[in-house]
Chain A
Amino acid sequence: METFDQKGGLNDKLGRYKATEIPAGLSWEQMGPNIRAGLEQKKRRRLLFWWWLPVGLLAMLTIGYFSLFGGTTELGYFPVPGQSVGGNSAIAETAAEVPEEMPVAKDMGTLSPMNNPKVKADTNIPVASPGRTEIKATEPSKSQAASTTSGPSNEIKDSGVASTEKIRNNLSEPELLSQIEVLPPQAVISLDSTTPYPEVRKIQAARHPWIVEAGMGVTFNLNPDIYSAKLPNTTIDPLSGLAASLRIGYALPQRPYILWAGIEMEELVQRERLQEAFPIQLYQPNTVDTIFRNTITGEEFTSTTDSIPGIRRVNIQQHSTFRSWSIPVLLGRTWSAAGWQLEGKAGVDFNLSSWHSGGYLVEGYELVDANTQYQTGWAVRLEGQLLLPPVRFGRLFVRCGYRRSMTQPGGLVQGSLFRPEAIGLTMGWRVEW
């Protein structure tokens, strides 16, 4: 018995009831395109999310890396004039690698009475220090040399300075002693100093000026196919894609300018992003169902509507893929503060582009219209790049770029005024030598 006093009591009567009158507006021909468009939109949203996932992951790894190793940064890449070089490992290395012509001075520098007050009480060690007035550089005294060799200091021995014995041995030779006494005071190098010594400058100048950058990011076309946009009933997806770049730069002697002119490769891949879906009415007399296949996704769909008996009206979906390999030539200028760098770049690129597009009408998988065009061209570029403070293996950068093609792919649009423009966001890593 069917009652409404029990749970599910009307299930058989009403729960499985099917509406008998279906309004014409709810037919698949009317609803299908909207439903499929809704599905595509949601799929695109999901894809967009997945794009940004690796970017977010990279950002988190970067933050973690800086948290763990940020305190041990000693890499002194390209010191900027006016910036302190106190923490520069290159300077420390310079101090350790004192030229061979002043080995004794190196050892004795560690025994300076200024650094060791105990030595001063029993001072018999000639030190190349401007504070030692009793030692004449021009007139070495034999008595002084003799007293020096005969009276080594116990305090120095106890201090455990490794070079004490060496000094004593060296001082036993009068000619060596005379060498010590003639050493100029400026040869003494202190680790505490932040003054750029000539030796440091030499090493800095001898450093390689090459820079390598590798990055990956997203790019968006600002003005996709405006020709197709004028077609009736046309829906154009945003033209966007992934970009990868590998660049080599050369730091000019007139720093902080960098010429990005070495071996460089940039690849712009726009996969399914450049998809245009626009219905085109085709009339195929005496045909039945027409199957369409998206050759990129493998998706199949079928025409359904009969507008005129015996003639099929079908929709064609067009898919296009734009790929570009370019060689940018840019000039960059760098500004630095607290280890961070901001770099502006401007220049041109020379590119080879391929444009693969067409409608796919397949009856028995027959391709109706598709073509690939190749074209060389050039574009102007403007870029802004933020570089984080260097860590052990280089530094992270984030780059925003604007690119305007000066030669558009043939057949893409009509008219010569159209200049495709794109903006991009790239994250990557820079290594300097």
Chain B
Amino acid sequence: MNTDSLIKKCRKGNARAQQQLYEQYLPYVLSIVRRFGVRQAEESDLIQDVFIAVFQGLERFDPKKGDLHHWIRGLAIHKTIAFQRKQQRLRAEELIISERTDRTTTIDLSHFDAEYLLELIAQLPAGARTVFNLYVVDGYSHEEIGKMLDISPVGSRSQLSRAKKLLREALEAQKTTDHYGNI
């Protein structure tokens, strides 16, 4: 079943198509949810919210404006952030902590395992982790992040600097060139 056919059937409420779409995109959505630090016990609630929004939003989804993959990704990110805010894990006071950028060393991360990097990212403070994910992984600008998190672009930059600093420290602490590449 191709994507267009899948979308059409999901719009009609076909349970088989919904199942196929769910199973196809669940690993992807789950990685986003985990990347943003949602606790394992809360994963199912958030996943459920995300897919309800996906199936509902499919009626408005226009394939000409972008592929389904990116659309679901954006939806999952927004739902995850809204969920975190609802749980009061993204507090404004935490997000506006200023952090001075003092290092600009470029680090090649191509030799690091994705799972290892995700593990490191998950250990970041909530604010820094969220901004880091949105900027470095998902490619949002600081202006967009500021709007999403209700902070200023300057605050977003500060959080990013803080995240990078913490990540560098973590990577330097486990500097093993043989396994993880050059830092």
Whether chain B is bound by chain A comes out as yes
A positions within 8 Å CB-CB of B: 1-11, 13-20, 22-23, 25-26, 28, 30-32, 34-36, 38-39, 42, 289, 291-292, 297-302, 304
Task: Check A15/B137 contact, CB under 8 A, given A31-B48, A300-B14.
Answer: yes
Provide the residues of chain B in CB contact with A300, threshold 8 Å.
12-16
Given A7-B141, A22-B27, does the pair A28, B22 have CB atoms closer than 8 Å? Answer: yes
Residues of A close to B164: CB separation below 8 A? 4-5
Given contacts A13-B110, A18-B27, 5 further A-B contacts (CB under 8 A): A8-B137, A14-B114, A17-B114, A19-B27, A32-B22
Q: How far is the CA of A193 from the CA of B118 in the complex (A)?
A: 93
User: Given A39-B55, A298-B12, A26 and B114 touching (CB < 8 A)?
Assistant: no
Chain B residue at minimal CB-CB distance from A15: B137
Instruction: From known contacts A4-B164, A26-B44, A301-B16, infer whether A35 and B27 are also in contact, taking CB-CB under 8 Å.
Output: no
One of B23, B35, B55 near A28 (C-beta < 8 A): B23
- Within the complex, what minimum Cβ distance (angstroms) separates A295 from chain B? 14
Cβ-based interface call for B5 (8 A): no
Contact status B107-A15, CB under 8 Å: no
Question: B110 contacts A1, CB within 8 Å?
Answer: yes
- Please name all residues of chain B whose beta carbon is closer than 8 Å to the beta carbon of A34 when the two chains form the complex: 48
B166 to chain A, nearest CB (A): 11
- Contact partner of A3 (CB less than 8 A), chosen from B12, B106, B132, is B106
Of B19, B27, B28, B117, which one neighbours A10 at CB under 8 angstroms?
B117
Least CB distance from A257 to B in Å reads 53
Contact with A along B55-90 (1 / 0, CB 8 A): 110000000000000000100000000000000000
Identify 28 residue pairs between A and B in the complex whose beta-carbon atoms are under 8 Å apart, listed by A's number: A2-B110, A3-B108, A4-B163, A7-B135, A8-B138, A9-B136, A10-B136, A13-B110, A14-B31, A14-B121, A14-B137, A15-B73, A16-B28, A17-B31, A18-B28, A18-B31, A19-B27, A19-B28, A19-B30, A20-B27, A26-B43, A26-B44, A31-B51, A32-B22, A35-B22, A292-B15, A301-B15, A301-B16
Complex interface: chain B residues within 8 A of A304 (CB): 19
**Interface 1/0 per residue, B117-140 and A, CB below 8 Å:** 110010000000000100111111
B44 touches A35 (CB 8 A): no
Indicate if the CB atoms of A4 and B109 lie closer than 8 Å. Answer: yes
Q: How large is the interface on B (under 10, 10 to 19, 20 to 34, 35 or more residues)?
A: 35 or more
**Minimum Cβ distance to chain B for residue A28 (Å):** 5
Q: In the assembly, what is the distance between CA of A34 and CA of B110, in Å?
A: 40
User: Contact: B117 with A14, CB < 8 Å?
Assistant: yes
Q: Is the CB of B106 within 8 A of A11?
A: no
Distance in Å: Cβ of B20 to nearest Cβ of chain A: 9
- List, in ascending order, chain B residues with CB within 8 A of A299's CB: 12-14
Give, as a whole number of angstroms, the nearest-CB distance from B173 to chain A. Answer: 16
**Cα–Cα distance between A1 and B110 once the two chains are bound (Å):** 6
Instruction: Confirm or deny: B34 has a beta carbon within 8 angstroms of a beta carbon on chain A.
Output: yes
B52 within 8 A of A: yes
Could you tell me if A15 and B138 are in contact, using CB atoms closer than 8 angstroms?
yes
- In Å, the complex CA distance between A34 and B49 comes to 10
Give 1 or 0 for each of B136-148: 1 = CB within 8 Å of chain A CB. Answer: 1111110000000
